[in-house]
Amino acid sequence: MKYSHLYAPLTLGDLTMRNRIVMAPMTRSRARQVDDAVSSLQVAYYGQRADAGLIVTEGVHPSADGKGYNRTPGLYNDSHVTAWSGVTDAVHARGGLIACQLMHCGRVGHALNKAPGTRFLAPSALPARAEIFTESGMMPMPVPEAMTDAEITAVVDDYRQAAARALEAGFDAVELHCASGYLPAQFLATGSNQREDRYGGSLANRLRFVAETLAAIISETGAGRVGLRISPGNPYNDHIDAKPLETYSALLQLADRLGLAWVHAIRMSSTGIDSLALTRKYFRGALIGSDSFDAGEAERFIARTALDAVSFGRAYIANPDLVVRFACDAPLNALDKRTIYAGEGASGYTDYPMLAERNG
Ligand SMILES: Cc1cc2nc3c(=O)[nH]c(=O)nc-3n(C[C@H](O)[C@H](O)[C@H](O)COP(=O)(O)O)c2cc1C
């Protein structure tokens, strides 16, 4: 076997992956806009990819307020539990593992993407200076409301309830999205958090929201079923921190103390921070690396223990049988960028050909 390290099993927390190929979390905007529910479309999509060592779902909002993008799925009521159960059943039927990525967008979003009456909650009343896709075109982001203490407590509890619902829906684990300028990252960063209470100011205070959220999730799932996604220094969605190296070093030490199963780090050389090496320095659990890997590079990183597993994003959109293709060094289908986000349609979602179909 050419990629013997990539195809070796890996135990991370309470889970044992049968290979080290992870499907990266990817928002595909195909949930039902009317009720934020997944359907048979997502059952087929994730089921096709179930031979990955681990699937991490697209970002899933833990409350209606937490939604920011068009047609993204939620996990905050019983119907959502039932809908997601279909997805987890399809993955488990093929022997796979699936984690639910919890993503609260905070100040990132637009009213056109959210249910009427929902709110934009954030650490401070500062808008993200960026635009977001809506069905009426790109729009500037709104000025959010600064959360009160009671609202912070309520949002932390929304995450806890979503974690409980994730287990009820059959998910094997939960990944907290703490990257790319969404709510947890908004609390971490000095640019978006200008609070003067115990959730802002000092580094310890800026970490508090993430610490409380992780503790709430762990109270439902245990730490062995929790992962953390980070992208230190990534300015996406106006995520600006004065000292990202310091901030993320402290966050990783927190993740280590809590005994999380994994950290899922996006490497981004433009930030000047080696997020993979930084994670290895402070975190003793499993490290999943992300961004522009191919099978050969993934194999090399795992062989020299720089990573334990590698996630693949865009390659997984176009290649449902990526695990099979890597194993036989088969060519990959090209990604059709026009259908990455495309309403409720199956086109570009569940109709990429498998290798057998291509050869047959
Ligand atoms: C269409 C698309 C949607 C994405 N949505 C998410 C998301 O919901 N949550 C997340 O943490 N990362 C998201 N990402 C980032 C990917 O997980 C991954 O880090 C990125 O695509 C780089 O990996 P790749 O080079 O293998 O594609 C998304 C990426 C793409 C291309």
Measure 193 CA to ligand 1 centroid, in angstroms.
25
Q: Is the pLDDT of residue 1 over 90?
A: no
pLDDT tier, 358 (very low <50, low <70, confident <90, very high otherwise): low
pLDDT tier, 343 (very low <50, low <70, confident <90, very high otherwise): low
Extended beta strands in 15-89, E state: 15-17, 21-23, 54-60
Residue 168, both tokens: 């009820």
Residue indicated by tokens 């800026």: 206
Probe residue for ligand 1, chosen from 22, 23, 26 as the CB with the greatest number of ligand atoms within 8 Å: 26
Helix or strand run (H / E) with residue 83: helix 78-93
Tell me the C-alpha distance between 263 and 280, whole Å. Answer: 9
Tell me the per-residue pLDDT of 266-282, one tens digit each, with 9 for 90 and over.
Answer: 998 899 999 999 999 99
Say what the pLDDT of residue 342 is: 75
Specify whether 182 is catalytic: yes
pLDDT (average), residues 132-140: 95
Tell me the per-residue pLDDT of 186-238, one tens digit each, with 9 for 90 and over.
Answer: 999 999 999 999 999 999 999 999 999 999 999 999 999 999 999 999 999 99
Tell me the per-residue pLDDT of 6-65, one tens digit each, with 9 for 90 and over.
Answer: 999 999 999 999 999 999 999 999 999 999 999 999 999 999 999 999 999 999 999 999
Share of the chain above pLDDT 70, in %: 98
Q: In residues, how long is the chain?
A: 360
Residues 6+ apart with CB under 8 A from 206: 187, 188, 189, 190, 193, 199, 200, 247
Say what the pLDDT of residue 189 is: 98
Q: Which of 182, 199, 316, 352 is catalytic?
A: 182
Buried b (16+ CB within 10 A) or exposed e, 261-298: bbbbbbbbeebebbbbebbbebbebbbbbbbebebeeb
Say what the pLDDT of residue 344 is: 62
pTM to 2 decimal places: 0.98
Tell me the per-residue pLDDT of 287-297, one tens digit each, with 9 for 90 and over.
Answer: 999 999 999 99
**What domains sit in the chain, N to C, each tagged with a CATH number?**
10-359 (3.20.20.70)
Q: Is 236 in the pocket of ligand 1 (CB under 6 A)?
A: no
Which three-class secondary structure state does DSSP give residue 226?
strand
Residues 6+ apart with CB under 8 A from 304: none
